[in-house]
Amino acid sequence: RKEVEQDPGPFNVPEGATVAFNCTYSNSASQSFFWYRQDCRKEPKLLMSVYSSGNEDGRFTAQLNRASQYISLLIRDSKLSDSATYLCVVNRIGNKLVFGAGTILRVKS
């Protein structure tokens, strides 16, 4: 079993839709949590950190449930430019990032 598990998708949604991604992690010692975005053949880029209280950045909302070891990302009003792979990431001691395999999102007009 992988340390970070994600639904690989792809999620094919129309513009304007709301889409939610889920992620689970197995190491309870994980210290911090992130969503990274990766465009095709490009490097991962930090989308947002995830906090237990939940946090929002524009159309993006992230939630963390430490008890269930579960992380989520909600994207509202999807844009064509949101099409990418979304990587769920946990951070272990030493600032070593552990990535999920990613969830592919395709937003269509």
Residues within the interface to other proteins (CB under 8 A) = 4, 8, 31-32, 41-46, 87, 89, 91, 94-102
36: left (phi over 0), alpha (psi -120 to 50) or beta: beta
Comparing CB distances to other proteins, the nearer of 17 and 101 is 101
DSSP per-residue letters across 19-54: EEEEEEE--TT--EEEEEEE-TTS-EEEEEEE-TT-
Beta bridge partners of 105: 11, 84
Least spacing, CB of residue 16 vs other proteins, in Å: 28
Q: Taking the complex as a whole, how short is the minimal distance between the CB of residue 35 and other proteins, in angstroms?
A: 12
Nearer to other proteins, 83 or 100 (CB): 100
Q: What is the DSSP letter of 2?
A: -
Report the nearest approach of other proteins to the CB of residue 25 (Å): 12
Least distance to other proteins, CB of residue 91, Å? 7
